[in-house]
């Protein structure tokens, strides 16, 4: 069996990224005719047209869409294998890392992480952006370097993930709230007016399921998109916020926090990154600091 021309992987990666023979040719510094011949070879090798005419442009076939992520990952890993080993000097590193995290993560882990990074690599800047959704595209496209959160079924399977810590939900109310006095039973907890946190506008979750198993239903009077907002409302009213304990430690200063009177699943908070960053020495250095900061604050 003849060995396939692995150079075609690079060509295919660029063609699928550009969606144009002319643009791919310019990017690879080839003539349009040479790129057309390369596409013909790819079609023969894969047994699929890969890119087909649609109006004035080209669109990928289902097979091309299936291959796009795998090919991109293979090309990046190949470059990493052939790249000379670098000895990272953090003191000379000049780079901005973009981290997509929750507000609670920034509030609690941001200060020590920024301090550690600044001490070791003064030329490095951390840019924290919010998480409006679970879309993995920013990691794939290189817009985000690192993300923290819960790995879910919708998380892109090609992403790398490493657990940082476990968290659990607790209750939080203003100082002097009726729940700050006496034993908090499931009935007393359910009897309060509650804030529900959901980026998607949902109004029920594991806490409600646990209460329902006891024949109880809590009254959700408002829905907000983040835990910091929920705690701000609870601090200034008689509303009850149910929030992750470690994610909100600093945000709950001065409030009364309590263990929920029902059992709910714990959360595993992980960091996620795209495989293209796996071997990058600077990215590995950043990941180490994130792990150590989360470990120190347990």
pTM, rounded to two decimals: 0.66
Q: What is the rounded distance in angstroms from the CA atom of residue 81 to the CA atom of residue 214? A: 57
Sorted by sequence, the CB contacts under 8 Å of residue 232 that are 6+ apart come out as: none
Computed over every residue of the chain, the mean pLDDT equals 89
With residues binned 3-state (H G I as helix, E B as strand, rest as coil), the percentages for the chain, rounded to 5, are 45, 20, 35
Query: In this structure, are residues 268 and 155 in contact, taking their beta carbons and an 8 Å threshold?
Result: no
For domain 7-82, give the CATH number. Answer: 1.10.10.10
Judge if 90-157+281-296 and 169-265 fold alike in CATH terms: yes
Please give the C-alpha separations between residue 127 and each of 30, 96, 150, 240, 285, in angstroms, as whole numbers. 37, 7, 20, 32, 16
Question: What CA–CA distance (Å, rounded) separates 294 from 298?
Answer: 7
268: left (phi over 0), alpha (psi -120 to 50) or beta: beta
Domain coordinates in residue numbering, the chain: 7-82, 90-157+281-296, 169-265
Residue range 172-229, pLDDT digits in tens: 999 999 999 999 999 999 999 999 998 776 778 999 999 999 999 999 999 998 898 9
Quick check: 298 pLDDT over 70? no
In this structure, what are the phi and psi dihedrals at residue 104, rounded to the nearest 5 degrees? -65, -35
User: Using CA atoms, how far apart are residues 79 and 46, in angstroms rounded to an integer?
Assistant: 23
Specify the residue for token string 């001490």: 119
| Residue 20, pLDDT score | 87
Using a pLDDT cut of 90, give the percent of the chain over it: 51
The band of 171, judged by pLDDT with boundaries at 50, 70 and 90, is very high
What is the DSSP secondary structure assignment for residue 122, as one 8-state letter? T
Residue 14, H or E segment: helix 7-18
Superfamily of 90-157+281-296 according to CATH: Periplasmic binding protein-like II (3.40.190.10)
Structure confidence by residue, pLDDT tens digits, 106-130: 988 999 999 999 999 999 999 999 8
**Residue 1: is its pLDDT beyond 60?**
no
Say if strands 169-173 and 256-259 run parallel, antiparallel, or are unpaired: antiparallel
Quote the DSSP letter at residue 91. Answer: G
**Digit-coded pLDDT (tens) for 52-84:** 888 778 888 899 888 887 888 888 878 777 776
Per-residue b or e along 119-150, where b marks 16 or more CB atoms closer than 10 Å to that residue's CB:
eebeebebebeebeeeebebbbeeebbbbbbe
CATH topology of domain 169-265: D-Maltodextrin-Binding Protein; domain 2 (3.40.190)
CA distance 174 to 181: 12
- Per the listing, tokens 């090309």 go with 75
Q: Is 42 in contact with 11 (CB distance < 8 Å)?
A: yes
The model's pLDDT over 255-278, given as tens digits with 9 standing for 90+, comes to 999 999 999 999 899 999 998 888
């Amino acid at each position: 069996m003849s060995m396939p021309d692995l150079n075609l992987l690079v060509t295919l990666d660029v063609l699928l990224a550009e969606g144009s023979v002319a643009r791919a040719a310019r990017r690879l510094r080839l003539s349009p005719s040479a790129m057309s011949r390369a596409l013909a070879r790819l079609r023969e090798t894969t047994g699929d047209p890969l890119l087909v005419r649609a109006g004035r442009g080209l669109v990928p076939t289902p097979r091309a869409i299936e291959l796009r992520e795998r090919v991109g990952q293979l090309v990046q890993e190949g470059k990493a294998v052939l790249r000379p080993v670098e000895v990272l000097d953090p003191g000379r590193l000049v780079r901005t890392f973009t981290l997509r995290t929750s507000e609670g993560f920034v509030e609690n882990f941001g200060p020590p992480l920024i301090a550690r990074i600044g001490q070791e690599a003064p030329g490095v800047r951390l840019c924290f952006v919010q998480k409006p959704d679970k879309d993995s595209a920013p990691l794939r496209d290189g817009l985000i370097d690192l993300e923290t959160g819960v790995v879910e079924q919708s998380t892109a399977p090609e992403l790398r993930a490493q657990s940082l810590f476990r968290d659990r939900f607790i209750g939080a109310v203003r100082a002097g709230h009726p729940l700050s006095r006496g034993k908090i039973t499931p009935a007393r907890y359910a009897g309060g007016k509650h804030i529900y946190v959901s980026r998607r506008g949902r109004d029920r979750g594991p806490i409600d399921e646990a209460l329902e198993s006891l024949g109880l239903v809590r009254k959700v009077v408002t829905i907000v998109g983040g835990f910091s907002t929920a705690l701000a409302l609870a601090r200034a009213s008689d509303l009850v916020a149910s929030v992750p304990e470690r994610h909100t430690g600093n945000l709950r200063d001065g409030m009364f926090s309590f263990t929920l009177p029902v059992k709910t699943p714990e959360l595993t908070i992980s960091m996620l990154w795209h495989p293209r960053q796996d071997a990058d020495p600077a990215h590995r250095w950043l990941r180490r600091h994130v792990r150590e900061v989360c470990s120190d604050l347990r």
